[in-house]
């Protein structure tokens, strides 16, 4: 792998390999961009087939966080960390505290958080070594479980997508196909049910389906049937890459809006959605509620009311994405990238102006 070539292609700032012999820690911290603020992104713990796979995952996820944070209107850059190991058997206090010391050594350039394979309890251990961590236990002034907040953001974003597709942001009476009914999606279903939407659900876990059927009157279908059901909105809330050559021709929905990451298998599938006249709510815009929530902890302590008001701006952010797409005649996924890039560029110029003014003041003070 030609690391510097890859870093140059996507303009990465820093890649840190972390090793601690006594704890067995093997971790990668990747900082993609700090133009508009310190890099915020979760710490993932996973068993990778190779060290190169772990590095690539950290780099890919870090770049995604740059776009997510910028699009969400946060004054934060993008970063990510991965710990190589089995989250079911390789965790220990000394491992997470060793990782925390590496985070601390970056002096605030990277702020970590919970991610796949890590928990609130793990963040508490990291917090013993560094203040640059979010998502710790509420007793430390944290935001706690982000799932309900992520779900609320997806709900608000879905209303914006409905406005674009149907001329009204009301979801009452609409049929919404929900793929995956885990923690985030269960809370999303609750919001949709309360507004009067009709739900069709599927999940690989029968108990998740049964809960949605019993509590929300949802209709259950088999896993592979969810793509072809008659519905107004298709909501992917499980695995990524579900919008692909096989599934797109089956879709009868006018909107795709859900919490899953990396919904498009390839970028060209976003082009295919545009060709079919389907409104697509780009995943990193609509599912930003969780990162908005933990980012609020950095504002002098967590304030739920303030965080929820910020999450509600996902509605406006998606309307801006649709506006850019119409303005530039581009697919919605490209418009989301453009929105994030435009904000980074504008704030980057502001930062450069500030630095130049500071240099001029210093020069004048020495005359």
Give the catalytic positions in this structure.
Answer: 80
Query: Could you give the CA distance from residue 137 to residue 193 in angstroms, rounded to a whole number?
Result: 30
Our CA angle for 202, 242, 180, nearest 5°, is 25
- Burial (CB count <10 Å: 0-12, 13-18, 19+), residue 244: middle
Tell how strand 25-33 and strand 77-84 pair up: antiparallel
Query: Could you give the CA distance from residue 224 to residue 269 in angstroms, rounded to a whole number?
Result: 19
DSSP alpha helix (H) spans, 111-173: 120-127, 147-166
Give the tokens for residue 344: 């980074």
Sequence-ordered list of residues with C-beta below 8 angstroms from that of 79, at least 6 positions apart, any chain: 29, 30, 31, 32, 39, 40, 41, 62, 65, 109, 110, 111
Give the tokens for residue 97: 């505290």
Query: Could you give the CA distance from residue 224 to residue 180 in angstroms, rounded to a whole number?
Result: 12
Q: Tokens 């292609």 sit at which residue?
A: 9
Our CA angle for 332, 338, 339, nearest 5°, is 90
Query: Could you give the CA distance from residue 245 to residue 66 in angstroms, rounded to a whole number?
Result: 28
Beta bridge partners of 46: 84
Query: Could you give the CA distance from residue 137 to residue 119 in angstroms, rounded to a whole number?
Result: 10
Q: How many CB atoms lie within 10 A of CB 320?
A: 18
Query: Could you give the CA distance from residue 334 to residue 270 in angstroms, rounded to a whole number?
Result: 8
Closest CA to 58 of 88, 87, 79: 79
State the angle between helix axes of 51-71 and 332-365 in degrees (0 to 180), rounded to the nearest 10. 80
């Amino acid at each position: 792998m030609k690391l510097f070539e890859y870093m140059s292609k996507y303009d990465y700032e820093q890649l840190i390999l972390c090793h601690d012999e006594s704890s067995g820690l093997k971790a990668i911290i990747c900082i993609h961009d700090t133009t508009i603020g310190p890099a915020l992104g979760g710490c993932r713990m996973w068993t990778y087939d190779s060290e190169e796979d772990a590095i690539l995952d950290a780099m890919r996820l870090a770049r995604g966080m740059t776009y997510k944070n910028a699009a969400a209107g946060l004054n934060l850059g993008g970063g990510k960390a991965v710990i190589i190991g089995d989250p079911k058997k390789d965790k220990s206090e000394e491992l997470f505290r060793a990782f925390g010391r590496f985070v601390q050594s970056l002096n605030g350039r990277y702020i970590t958080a919970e991610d796949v394979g890590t928990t609130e309890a793990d963040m508490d251990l990291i917090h013993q070594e560094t203040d640059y961590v979010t998502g710790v236990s509420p007793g430390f002034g944290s935001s706690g479980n982000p799932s309900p907040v992520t779900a609320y953001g997806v709900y608000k974003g879905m209303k914006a997508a409905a406005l674009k597709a149907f001329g009204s942001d009301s979801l009452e009476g609409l049929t919404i196909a929900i793929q995956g009914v885990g923690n985030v999606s269960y809370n999303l279903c609750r919001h949709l049910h309360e507004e009067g939407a009709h739900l069709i659900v599927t999940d690989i876990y029968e108990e998740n389906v049964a809960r949605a059927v019993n509590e929300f009157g949802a209709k259950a279908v088999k896993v592979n049937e969810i793509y072809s059901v008659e519905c107004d909105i298709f909501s992917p809330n499980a695995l990524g890459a579900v919008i692909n050559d096989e599934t797109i021709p089956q879709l009868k929905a006018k909107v795709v809006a859900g919490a899953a990451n990396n919904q498009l298998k390839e970028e060209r599938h976003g082009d295919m959605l545009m060709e079919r006249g389907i409104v697509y709510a780009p995943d990193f815009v609509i599912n930003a509620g969780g990162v908005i929530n933990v980012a609020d902890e950095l504002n002098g302590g967590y304030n739920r009311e303030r965080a929820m008001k910020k999450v509600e701006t996902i509605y406006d952010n998606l309307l801006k994405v649709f506006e850019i797409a119409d303005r530039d005649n581009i697919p919605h996924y490209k418009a989301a990238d453009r929105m994030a890039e435009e904000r980074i560029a504008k704030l980057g110029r502001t930062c450069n102006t500030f630095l130049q003014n500071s240099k001029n003041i210093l020069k004048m003070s020495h005359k």
